[in-house]
Structure 1
């Protein structure tokens, strides 16, 4: 799967959807944890998109929502299935 990266934020426009942990996932594990923490705290997605991804949801609402939601979905997947890939990885 090809990931289109945003130069300004160094985040993909959409998180991976592979059934295995990717290098992108390893590189963004802390981001996934921050997203899960924000969700648990009930933070508004707009604030999260601005703080974590450096996006302005007022000027790019669709893009900010897409990036936020896809990464949060991936973070949730990591907690259900993907963490095994991190545990088995020789790099971590």
Structure 2
């Protein structure tokens, strides 16, 4: 049995589908961390470095793109996407 990593790697862009994707399920913790950091008004560069594990000093464009798309997806999840979780829980095996 394979285990999910505690902090999965992030893509350069988060999904923008109108339904939950496997990527979304894998990154629920990432989305929660992004929403928390946003509520605490944490600088995006620190969030990129700590949560997304992308160094904004090394690759500022990629870091910003990943941060902004994942935060947008996290906000979508908090407003609409979470409704899909109620009857659509995938197997964790």
Q: Flag whether TM exceeds 0.5 (same fold).
A: yes
Contact persistence 1:26–1:86 (CA under 8 A): no
Corresponding residue number in structure 1 for 2:63? 64
Moved over 2 A (4+): none
Superposed CA deviations along residues 36-79 of structure 1, whole A, max 9, x for unmatched, are 00000010000000001111111110100000000000000001
The TM-score, its normalising length taken from structure 2, stands at 0.85
Q: Structure 1: state its 5+ residue gaps.
A: 1-8
Corresponding residue number in structure 2 for 1:29? 28
Corresponding residue number in structure 2 for 1:87? 86
CA distance in 2, matches of 1:10, 1:59: 17
Q: Structure 2: state its 5+ residue gaps.
A: 1-7
Corresponding residue number in structure 1 for 2:72? 73
CA distance in 2, matches of 1:60, 1:85: 34
Root mean square deviation, CA, Å: 1.3
Q: How many residues align?
A: 84
Instruction: State whether structure 2 residue 19 is matched by structure 1 residue 46.
Output: no
